[in-house]
Amino acid sequence: MRIIPAIDLKDGKCVRLYKGDFAQQTEYSANPAAIGRRFSSLDVQDLHIVDLDGAQSGTQSNHAIVTEIAAQSGLDVQLGGGIRDRKDVVRWFDAGVSRCVVGSLAIDHPAKVCEWMKEFGLERIVLALDVKLDKAGTPLLATHGWTRDSGVSLWECIDAFRDVGARHVLCTDVARDGAMVGPNIELYEDILRRYPELELQASGGVRDITDIRALSEKGVPAAITGRALLDGKISDAEVTSFRQNA
C-alpha cells in the first residue's frame, strides 16, 4: 500500500481545511516548497497537491509553486483543483506534474474526461470523487471545492468511466477531511467490492499509522494523509517502518 502525503495550497500557502470548509482553515507554512522537500525525505514515491484556489475559481494561480515543488521534491506529483480544460492538463504535465486529478469536470462532463484518458493514458488521469453521505448513507458527490451538491451518486459517476477503463480514483469523505476522526473504511470497502479493478486512493480522516494499517488490511491500494503528517501524528519512522513491512 502506498502512503501519499498531501499539500493543500491556498493563497500561496500550505493549509488544511476542516471538513472542506474554506472558512475553517489552518495555515501550516508560507513555504509549501519546503513542505514538499520534507515529504520527499520520507519513504514515499508520490505527492498529492490540491490547488484550493483553483478548485474555487477554476483558475490555477499556484502554478509557479507547484512547478517548484515538482522540481525540488523528486516525487511523482499528482495535482488537482480547478482543472477544466485540456490546456490545463497539458500545462500541468509540462510543469512536471505526473498525474492530473479531475473532480468537478468528471461529474459534469464525463465524456470529455474519458477523451483525456484515451489521449494521455489511464495512468495520468485521476478521478477525484468527493462525497457527502445522505441520510440513507448514499455517497453523493460534491463539486467546485465541495461547495456544490451535484445530486449524482458515487456509483453513477464511476459507472460512467468503466467502459474507458478508468484506473485511478481518489475518494474523499468530506465530513472526515481534516477532522482527524478516522477514515470511512466501510465506504472504501464498498467501493472495492463493486469495483475491484480500481487503484483506489482513500482520503479524509486519517489520524495515525493505525488508520493506515487498517486501510491496508482492507486491501486499499493507497491512502492520502496531510494533517496527520503535518501535525506529527504520523512520524517519519512510522512511515518507513510501515513501508518496510507492507
pLDDT digits (tens, 9 = 90+) for 182-204: 999 999 999 999 999 999 999 98
Q: What is the pLDDT of residues 37-48, one digit of tens each?
A: 999 999 999 999
* Proportion of the chain in helix, strand, coil states, percent, rounded to 5: 40, 30, 30
Q: How far apart are CA 126 and CA 76, in angstroms?
A: 13
Cα 58–Cα 62–Cα 63 angle in degrees, nearest 5: 95
By residue count, the chain amounts to 246
**Regarding the domain with residue range 2-240, which homologous superfamily does it belong to in the CATH classification?**
Aldolase class I (3.20.20.70)
pLDDT band at 125 (very low <50, low <70, confident <90, very high): very high
pLDDT of 20 strictly over 80? no
CA proximity to 242, closest of 42, 73, 78: 42
- CB of 149 closer than 8 Å to CB of 133: no
- CB of 74 closer than 8 Å to CB of 44: no
Identify the sign of the CA torsion 53, 132, 152, 214: positive
Helices (H), 63-196: 63-73, 86-94, 104-108, 110-120, 154-159, 185-194
Enumerate the domain spans of the chain: 2-240
Q: What is the pLDDT of residues 1-11, one digit of tens each?
A: 999 999 999 98
Q: How far apart are CA 57 and CA 60, in angstroms?
A: 8
Q: What is the pLDDT of residues 203-229, one digit of tens each?
A: 988 999 999 999 999 999 999 998 899
Cα 144–Cα 81–Cα 228 angle in degrees, nearest 5: 105
Q: Which residues are catalytic?
A: 8, 130
Mean pLDDT of the chain: 90
**Is the model's pTM score more than 0.85?**
yes
Long-range contacts of 52-55 (CB under 8 A, 24+ apart): 52/8, 52/9, 52/10, 52/15, 52/17, 52/22, 52/81, 52/145, 53/9, 53/10, 53/11, 53/81, 53/82, 54/81, 54/82, 54/83, 55/80, 55/81, 55/82, 55/103, 55/104, 55/144, 55/145, 55/146
- CB of 46 closer than 8 Å to CB of 2: yes
